Amino acid sequence: MRFVKLYFVIVLLGCSSTTLWSQINPQVENLLNVFYTLKYAYDNKDITLTENMYNSSYDGLCFEAHITFSLVDQSWETSNAAGHHQVLRRVRQTLDELSQNAETIHKWETHTGEHDTINYAMFLKPGTATTDYQNHMIYDGDKHWASGGLESVNMEYTAMHPSKEELTQPTRLARGTLTYKCVLDTLAKATKDFNATAYCDAIKTIVNQKGISMRKVHYKQDAGDTYGIHYIIRSQENALNVLDQLRKTTKEYIASHPNESFNMFNPRQNDYISTYPFLSGNTNPSPVSQEVFSVFTIFSKDYYHILVLYTDGVLDIPTDWEIIKEYDHGKVEYYDKDIKFMNKTGG
């Protein structure tokens, strides 16, 4: 039995959810929407995009986004190269617009016949005099990195234009990275463990609606023990409504429990196919073990799924988890009535 190992983090919020989300720069949000469309609508494997809200005892409530875009082992004359240049132009346009109102901005670039190097580092929101949020521009050779502060953007881009002779060997021709961080609530610092019981009570009416099937699951492998509830939504229209309610309620829960610690929350409104957790956080930690609470929202085998899981150790989710009731070190118990349909639809 093949396993997929999933590693993740968790999420939480501080004041009004509307106020919190409005602090994310709209120009950055528009840029993220562009990347999201390219990544998921066209299954562009040359683009990676991760978005995450988290709450820590040091920073408070934060939002981070990290994007990479690359062109690998291809000639500059290909259609992929043209698309790569369009992405780069859109990124630079946004950063140039942001730099007009930035508190601090560093921009540096060089272009030779064979190499391009571009570097942006800027603080968009004034930092404070306190040590925790003080602006700090890091210098590393010719490159700069904006660290700390309340809102920052960093971009690094390198490209090579090798000759035709050099293209006979596998070469990464171009790679860009864009990182955005915004501290949403400096007072919402994590001082309590995430209360999974209270959160599950908050979403109870959502996951218990008509048209949603509920099943208990249990996965045991090596040092990991995972158990929880698997919800299945067969109607797309019903699923989109349920998942919108789930996201809204999660935001409200986070906003009303500002000091509960969480590692990850995916705030994207329409991302229902991610293999990353929708929500994740530690609960009931002890010197011996630390239980992790995770919620996944996944589209697989023609159905929408919500997995609400508790894990002691490393989370291992088995292949064909959609039809597995219990997995115990290689011994599998399936939900027999779904095996025929699931195998027919694939996924």
Name the 3-class secondary structure at 26: helix
Angle at which helix 26-36 crosses helix 79-99, to 10 degrees, equals: 170
Q: Tell me what pLDDT residue 317 has.
A: 87
The beta strands (E) that lie in the chain are given as 3-5, 47-56, 60-72, 104-111, 115-125, 135-140, 143-148, 151-160, 172-185, 212-221, 224-233, 262-265, 279-283, 291-300, 303-312, 316-318, 324-328, 331-334
Residue 2: pLDDT over 70: no
* pLDDT digit string, tens, across residues 182-191: 998 888 888 8
Pairwise CA distance, residues 218 & 325, whole Å = 7
**Comparison of pLDDT for 223 and 44, the residue scoring more:** 223
Instruction: Enumerate the domain spans of the chain.
Output: 20-185, 196-345
The residue among 68, 238, 58 whose CA lies nearest residue 131 is 58
- The overall average pLDDT reported for the chain is 81
Residue with tokens 């996951």: 207
Question: Minimal CA–CA distance to 273: which of 63, 43, 28, 102?
Answer: 43
- pLDDT at res. 16: 54
Cα distance between residue 196 and residue 229, in whole Å: 13
User: 83-93, pLDDT tens digit by residue?
Assistant: 788 889 999 99
Does residue 129 or residue 254 have the better pLDDT? 254
The 10s digit of each residue's pLDDT in 199-244 is 999 999 999 999 999 999 999 988 789 999 999 998 989 998 999 8
25-35 mean pLDDT: 89
Q: Tell me the per-residue pLDDT of 105-136, one tens digit each, with 9 for 90 and over.
A: 999 999 887 788 999 999 998 776 666 788 88
Maximum mean pLDDT: which of 169-173, 231-235, 340-344: 231-235
Q: What percent of the chain has pLDDT over 90?
A: 33
256-286 pLDDT tens trace? 888 998 988 887 655 555 667 889 988 866 5
Q: What is the mean pLDDT of residues 31-36?
A: 86
> In the numeric block, which tokens belong to residue 311?
């894990």
